Amino acid sequence: MAFKGQIIVDTERCKGCGVCVPVCPVQCLELSKEVNGKGYNYTHTVNEKCIGCASCAMVCPDGVISVYKLKVS
């Protein structure tokens, strides 16, 4: 059985520190060019390559990233 990861970012709480971007082994995160309600460029996913490793969630200092593993048939 194969798994695929899915990343959910609370964009309104994200401060755009960018710590999560370089730790992603499959480069599926980047900082948005748009800003949230607080004026920060938030993190968002740029492709569907997420493997569900949760490295991004572990390094996020504000805990705004959730990672889920989905079964793929």
The predicted structure's pLDDT at residue 9: 97
The pLDDT value recorded for residue 2 is 84
C-alpha distance from residue 7 to each of 16, 33, 49, 67 (Å): 16, 18, 10, 5
Question: Alpha-carbon distance 72 to 38, whole Å?
Answer: 36
Q: Which residues of the chain have pLDDT under 50?
A: none
Residue 39 main-chain phi, psi, to 5 deg: 90, 15
Determine the Cα–Cα distance for residues 29 and 45; give it in Å rounded to an integer.
5
Q: Where are the domains of the chain?
A: 2-72
Based on the number of CB atoms within 10 Å of its own CB, is 33 exposed (0-12), middle (13-18) or buried (19 or more)?
A: exposed
Q: Note the pLDDT of residue 3.
A: 85
The CATH fold of domain 2-72: Alpha-Beta Plaits (3.30.70)
- 7-26 per-position pLDDT tens digit: 999 999 999 999 999 999 99
Query: Given this model, what pLDDT does residue 1 score?
Result: 67
